[in-house]
Amino acid sequence: MIERDLKARGIKDARVIAAMEFVPRQKFVPEQFRSSAYDDRPLPIGEGQTISQPYIVAYMSELLELKGTEKVLEIGTGSGYQTAVLARLAGAVYSIEIIPALSERAKAPLAELGFTNVQLKVGDGFFGWQDNAPFDAILLTAASPKVPEPLWRQLQEGGRIIMPLGEPRQTQKLVRIRKRAGKEIVETLSEVVFVPLTGVIQRAR
């Protein structure tokens, strides 16, 4: 997987590659899909959600430009796979999941791998995690048509957000948004398809 799906497709950050080597994807997928754990494709994890393909996990992690001391907010814990990769790359990871069963399920593999720098919370990611703000970086693993305003407020000056930007059930744009003098500096990187961010953002539409 590392050679075929990551290095061959342009993942260069040595710390990201090491994190992907360390985190066993099979621990984060349901038992019936473990034979496909290292295929470069999303897999179902229950509750209508998926675990992202390894390349996308590595690519989004690389885009965060983490050096090892940062405080990162993840919106959408899912299976906990991306959370685990971030935990190898950052100083602290705060991850929010709106579906209680998924958040609960993610605890076991994260604990088994010995991560002590991760905090999980059940809640609506739209509102972020104000008690632990500001964050150096924010990663959304679900698509939104705009940056939720609470997340923007919780982003440190000079920080960055990586997210799929666009409407649900359509092709979205993967973007990196930097906060400079309070303004959004947006880079559009590639086309992606993610599950939509759920919760208050959908009810407001």
Residue 36 is classified by DSSP as G
- Please say if 36 is a catalytic residue: no
Query: Taking the domains of the chain in order of start, what are their residue ranges?
Result: 2-203
Banded pLDDT at 34 (limits 50, 70, 90):
very high
From 52, 79, 95, 103, active-site residue: 52
pLDDT digits (tens, 9 = 90+) for 61-107: 999 999 999 999 999 999 999 999 999 999 999 999 999 999 999 99
Max mean pLDDT among 18-22, 169-173, 192-196 falls in 18-22
SS3 helix, strand, coil % of the chain, rounded to 5? 35, 30, 35
Q: Please state which of the ranges 3-17, 152-166, 168-182 shows the lowest mean pLDDT.
A: 168-182
Domain 2-203 coded CATH 3.20.20.370:
no
- Produce one character per residue of 8-19: b if its CB has 16 or more CB atoms within 10 Å, e if not: eeebebeebbeb
